[in-house]
Structure 1
C-alpha cells in the first residue's frame, strides 16, 4: 500500500516522559487541581459566611 503525501514519516526518536505532550498534560492537571482547590475554599467561605456567628451557638 502507498501512503498519502500528507502523512509524515514517523520519527525514530524514543518518546520520553519529558516530552511536550506530557508537560502540557501535567500543567493541565495542575490547573484543574488549583481550580478545584479554589472552588472548595470558596464553598467553605460561603458556608461560614451564611452560618455567621451562630455556628457556635447551636443546641446540643
Structure 2
C-alpha cells in the first residue's frame, strides 16, 4: 500500500476566500429561512396564543 504525500485539495488563498464567502452566504440564507419559518408559525397561531391558560 502506498501513502500519498498530498492529502486533500490545496486551495489558493483566493479560492479559500471565495469558499469562505460562499459559506457565509449559505449560513445567512439558512438563518433567514429559520427566522422566516418562525415568524410564519407565530403569525399562523394568531395573537390568541398569548392568552391561553397555562
Asked if TM exceeds 0.5, the reply is: yes
Aligned with 2:49 (options 27, 51, 55): 55
SS in 1 for 2:43: helix
Q: 1 or 2, which has the higher helix percentage?
A: 2
- Whichever of the two has the greater Rg, that structure is 1
Q: How many residues align?
A: 45
Tell me how far 1:18 sits from its aligned partner: 7.2
TM-score (norm 1): 0.63
TM-score (norm 2): 0.69
For residue 3 of structure 2, what is the aligned residue in structure 1?
A: none
Instruction: Please tell me the root mean square deviation across aligned C-alpha atoms, in Å.
Output: 1.9
Tell me how far 1:52 sits from its aligned partner: 1.1
Paired with 2:38 and 2:12, the residues of 1 have a C-alpha distance of: 37
For residue 44 of structure 1, what is the aligned residue in structure 2?
A: 38
Give structure 1 regions of 4+ aligned residues with deviation exceeding 6 angstroms.
none
Question: Is there any run of 5+ residues in structure 1 with no aligned partner, and where?
Answer: 1-14
